[in-house]
Chains A and B, each alone.
Chain A
Amino acid sequence: MFRSTISLTTRRQLAASIARHPTALPSVSLLTRSFSATRAFRDDTDDTVAKTSLHTLTEDEQMMREMVSRFAVDVVQPKVSEMDEAEKMDPAIIKGLFDNGLMGVETPAEFSGAEASFLSAILVIEELARIDPSISVLCDVHNTLVNTVFRHYASDHLKQKYLPLLATEKLGCFCLSEAGSGSDAFALQTRAELKGDHYVINGSKMWITNSGEADIFLVFATVDPSKGYKGITCFVVERDMGVTIAKKEKKLGIRASSTCQLSFDDMRVPVENVVGEVGKGYKIAIEILNEGRIGIAAQMLGLAQGAFDTAMPYMFQRKQFGSFIGDFQAMQHQYAQIAVEIEAARLLTYNAARLKEEGKPFIKEAAMAKLYASQVAERASSKAVEWMGGVGFTRDVPAEKFYRDCKIGAIYEGTSNIQLQTIAKLLAKDYRE
């Protein structure tokens, strides 16, 4: 049975409000249904849901968390600093992610995936970010954006062809942003023209995560600029169809993660590589980014925890004025405060993930989790640098790296301003007459 947390009156108001604006932009109608094709992983009965805390994981979720934590510490950690300095991802680590099934978390077993829950993916992203937010975002984009687009929208042919590759060997990326279209995603200019059994794509993309190492690209392009957002279409593109890397960006943080400008010059893509329907790319982009935000929240949460775990032991090693610095009240209050904020970010993130799994509305909660987790990541990593003093400011310890890595959280997959807009829009609908 479907039980909503929204009161009956609010639901009526919502329905009325939606009825009054039938022609509004797509995002207006988002609350009326949940955009999650994943099946619910929990029985929606009072017995099971009401009595568990958000820290209660299933046995397999718990095992995955522990496994990923070990992988991160044993395999990723020794390479973190080297990869950051070189601004390059170690291919052995990407292979390790594939070999251990971390690149097809929700992918069905028939397509070589783990067929695990959405929260499992969230836990994977969080645990990786505690050690390296760069590896974490690589895994996040691949799982929560690329794999999910294939699972939800692609034809059976495309699923069969690409999901097993994406689960076992080929990295994916999500190509939406352009020089002139960031938050205003639907202002994109990349053109796709139908020529026989192929589309010919021309244009360029900016700030594409994973594009340096990826083989499979989800490219958003318009088939007819006169149709506005209703011309936007999503294509599966393989690197050798003609994706050119125009420039690799040099960045403040998450430097091991590749971010590139791409250009497409008369790139021929077969008609069957259209994902979903022609002209429905805008819908795919909106829906996928709604749940993708929970992944970024998890990355920022892991980052905050990682920074905290870096600084805390130091507080009980370093003595000044004859006491551990962690025993001074001024420090105690600071780390207690940060711990509370990390816990709050964790609850927001897990709750948004569980809501999505249960098939309930989660868009507002996802935006809240992403916004807040990125703010907490910034505060926690900033404090971690301060708490470690001169040592924290050096590149010998990862505190400064977490501090550099956190800034992206307020920018990608919807800036903080866009999250606030989303939250405000959904709130206003509840109250507006």
Chain B
Amino acid sequence: MSSGLRILVGVKRVVDSAVKVRVNSTQTGVETANVKHSMNPFDEIAVEEAIRLREKQKGNDKIQEIIALSCGPAKAQETLRTALAMGADRAIHVKTDEMLEPLSVAKLFSRIISEEKPNLVILGKQAIDDDSNQTGQMLAGLLNWPQATFASKVDIKDNSSLEVVREVDGGLETVTSSLPAIVTTDLRLNEPRYASLPNIMKAKKKPLKTISPADLGVDIKARLQTIKVTEPPKRQGGTVVDSVDELLNKLRNEAKVL
């Protein structure tokens, strides 16, 4: 074994969370032209966690390398540069203009992982554009690795085990697993740092490798078909009722929920 651990983080370029999204004119998706994009916020948390682990881990548990990986169009490189500016050491870009489904992304990741052999893979629990929340789980399945999703605390112990606190419906659940493993991040895991100006400049010099899905021998053909994308119905104004009886009557006969 080498003397330290290696972490791979997934980053996705998505429409910025502050943008008011609009459905495109052909109703096949949302408008992305001339719209501000940034790194998926959950992926930012993943990058930050990798960097914090490096700052925290000492001795045999030292983090030797952090690799950022993104699958997507040419502009995904901007997102990778951001990851490099935050503190990742090198980046891999799987370049494609095709729309990628979580299964395709998981397959691309598993192929890269079999080459790079990281000890830990940290992904956002979901991307804020499609909200799929599937890639991490599918990847764990494909690799037959343990997974700890919705992480709010991550600790590495003795170079070989992982303790993760997960946010579940009933509260917090603490799990341990062996390495290698997949972790997906929840919102409260950390607060990502800003990429400082000197680090933005240094990121330019860090290596960024580009490959294609074909190079990896992965079929990224869509398994799902999007029929139509529409805006949610506009909210109708509410009404004030005078009595409980009237409320029950409305719930029963108008809303038909009782």
Contact = CB atoms under 8 A, between A and B. Distances in A.
Contacts, number: 55
B38 A66 contact: yes
A317 to B, nearest CB: 14
Contacts of B200: 60, 63-64, 67, 101, 114, 116
A71 B194 contact: yes
Contacts of A60: 200-201, 203-204
Contact of B198 (A66, A101, A124): A101
B184 interface: no
B40 to A, nearest CB: 15
Given A59-B78, A59-B81, A101-B199, A67 B194 contact: yes
A277 interface: no
Nearest to B78: A59
B198 A109 contact: yes
Contacts of A59: 78, 81, 204
A263 to B, nearest CB: 35
B160 interface: no
B224 interface: no
Contacts of B199: 101
Interface residues of B, number: 16
A115 B78 contact: no
A104 B199 CA distance: 12
B194 A114 contact: no
User: In terms of DSSP, what is the predominant structure of the interface of chain A?
Assistant: helix
A63 B83 CA distance: 11
B195 interface: yes
Which of the four size classes fits the interface of chain A?
A: 20 to 34
Contact of A100 (B78, B197, B201, B203): B197
A63 B196 contact: no
B198 A67 contact: no
A113 B199 CA distance: 10
Given A59-B81, A70-B194, A100-B194, A114 B201 contact: yes
B209 to A, nearest CB: 17
A23 B195 CA distance: 50
A89 B204 CA distance: 34
Contacts of B82: 63
B104 to A, nearest CB: 27
Interface in A63-78: 63-64, 66-67, 70-71
A126 B197 CA distance: 15
Nearest to A63: B200
Nearest to A70: B194
Interface string B195-229: 11111111110000000000000000000000000
B120 interface: no
Contacts of A105: 197
Interface in B50-87: 78, 81-82, 85
Contacts of A104: 197-198
B194 A115 contact: no
Contacts of A175: none
A82 interface: no
30 contacts: A59-B78, A59-B204, A60-B200, A60-B201, A60-B204, A63-B81, A63-B85, A67-B194, A67-B196, A67-B200, A70-B194, A71-B194, A99-B196, A100-B196, A100-B197, A101-B196, A101-B198, A102-B197, A104-B197, A104-B198, A105-B197, A109-B198, A109-B201, A109-B202, A113-B198, A114-B196, A114-B200, A114-B201, A115-B201, A116-B201
Given A63-B200, A109-B201, A114-B198, 8 more contacts: A59-B78, A63-B85, A66-B38, A99-B196, A109-B198, A113-B198, A114-B200, A116-B197
Report the 5 A-B pairs with minimum CB-CB distance, sorted nearest first.
A101-B197, A114-B197, A101-B196, A114-B198, A101-B198
